[in-house]
Amino acid sequence: MLFNSIDFAVFLPTVFLLYWLLANKNLRLQNALIVLASYVFYGWWDWRFLSLILFSTLVDYTIGRKLKSQENKTKRKILLWTSILVNLGFLGFFKYANFFLDNFKSAFSFFGSEIATNSLSIILPVGISFYTFQTLSYTIDVYKQKLEPTKDFIVFSAFVSFFPQLVAGPIERATNLLPQFYKKRTFNLSKAVDGMRQILWGLFKKMVIADSCAELANHIFNNSADMNGSSLVLGALFFTFQIYGDFSGYSDIAIGTSRLFGFNLMQNFKFPYFSRDIAAFWRRWHISLSTWFRDYLYIPLGGSRGGTWMKVRNTFAIFIVSGFWHGANWTFIVWGTLHAIYFLPLLLTNKNRKNLEIVAQGNFLPTVKEFLQMLFTFTLTVFAWIIFRAKDITHAFNYISGIFSASLLEVPKLSNPKGAMITMLLVFIFIFIEWLGRESQYALEHLGLKWKRPLRHAMYYTIIIALFWFNGKEQQFIYFQF
């Protein structure tokens, strides 16, 4: 079920009313309703994969209970590795089986031997990478005794399948989300209004910015061989704002929806395109995933505690695995490796934690130095997105080669120049609003709250009109494929 669909527009208020009117005084009933709603929400795509979520839930719930009563270290490790292998086994089969099979075949062909293999007909379950990592964090935290395992199966099921963030995050930690299912929740009007405001901004990011950019980016990337260098640059820029508007928009809708039901999810994006270096970018982009890899991969590998070689090794490990998490394609691995290379100079000079504060905090404009830092970081990011978006490595190489050609100085050749101009104007407006709200959790959190009511409402109505105006360009959320 898409957040920007009529189905969800009916589903959300129905669940909201049942939750607060019928189950308001019964916490267990509220949790059960969340589980039921979440299974309906996920099953809307393909009901067959509900069994996968249920099985994963049963496995980790059972292992969590057994870890509580088991004191033998060897048996505890066996339980932990059972959870890891089951969860990553499912993820590996559905997401990476054909990738390894095709590369295995290619390796034999390279050495002059041909083997007859056919790709498997595997449907990738929506959001499997997200809920797999969420359940793994629970088992690992219970194993490390950072968290008490839950005895309530309904509560654990609600944690695993919580519909606002089920298919594209944020990837919530059990230490944050799970305890909230045990707390009495009462309706809070100001919290609900704030949630609606964040949903509105998330829908604007997705339906107006991301979908408008997607139409142009898809055309340019799909016909890159016929495009001149300046058009290819525009394609990369359009995709840069498409993926940000698409993914951060989903997170805003998920967080805002959760607030309607009395839950607080972690912030997943902190205005990453205003970062002054790549380290800051990764502290602000897909925060739930980057911190997951930091806590469950980077630190267990030794983090930054060892010598230079260990730091470099661990940095490449976390970025390459992060790239591979995104999909079964060498483009994602190269994308992750490129970001590791970007990150390396900062790590080796101990400047990777230099720009921790918000850029131009308390000021309207950045300094010239800050602006140039942001521009340089943004340029590196856009270049890496080309590889991420390309169909394969050859496509990425040809696309980049096309940019660095004499045609870079030519006028862009676009099939819809008027649409491109309108989209660029929308992007500039979007950047301006994001800049104004960069010190908040999301751009609209405090913007306009001190304005007179007619002016503030005019801003909201303008956004709503834009949603309907640009609704015809509907695109599926990018991260559903991951």
39/306 Cα distance (integer angstroms): 45
pLDDT digits (tens, 9 = 90+) for 360-389: 998 999 999 999 999 999 999 999 999 999
Choice between 460 and 48, residue whose per-residue pLDDT is larger = 460
Q: What's the confidence (pLDDT) of residue 149?
A: 92
Catalytic residue among 219, 286, 326, 339: 326
Residue labelled with tokens 């969340």: 34
- H or E segment and range at residue 59: helix 50-69
Q: Is 326 a catalytic residue?
A: yes
Residue 359 DSSP label: T
- pTM (2 d.p.): 0.92
The pair of three-digit structure tokens given for residue 424, joined into one six-digit string? 């660029």
Choice between 380 and 166, residue whose per-residue pLDDT is larger = 380
Residue 345, preceding peptide bond in cis (omega within 30° of 0): no
* Percentage of residues in the chain having pLDDT higher than 90: 67
Question: Taking a C-beta distance cutoff of 8 angstroms, is the pair 326, 389 a contact?
Answer: no
pLDDT digits (tens, 9 = 90+) for 171-230: 999 999 999 999 999 899 999 999 999 999 999 999 999 999 999 999 999 999 989 999
3-state secondary structure of 313: helix
Tell which residue, 335, 331, 302, 305, has the closest CA to residue 319.
Answer: 335
The pair of three-digit structure tokens given for residue 163, joined into one six-digit string? 């519909």
Q: Is 302 left (phi over 0), alpha (psi -120 to 50) or beta?
A: left
Q: What's the confidence (pLDDT) of residue 181?
A: 95
pLDDT digits (tens, 9 = 90+) for 69-118: 888 889 999 999 999 999 998 888 777 666 556 555 555 454 555 555 55
Q: How many CB atoms lie within 10 A of CB 291?
A: 17
Mark 143-180 as b/e (b = at least 16 C-beta within 10 Å): beeebebbeeebbbbbbbbbbbbbbbbbbbbbeebbeb
The pair of three-digit structure tokens given for residue 192, joined into one six-digit string? 């609900």
Structure confidence at residue 249 as a pLDDT band (50, 70, 90): very high
Rounded mean pLDDT of the chain? 89
DSSP secondary structure, 415-444, as one string: S-HHHHHHHHHHHHHHHHHHHHTTTSSSTT
200/164 Cα distance (integer angstroms): 15
Whether the pLDDT of residue 476 is over 80: the answer is: no
Mean pLDDT (whole number) for 265-290: 95
Whether the pLDDT of residue 22 is over 90: the answer is: no
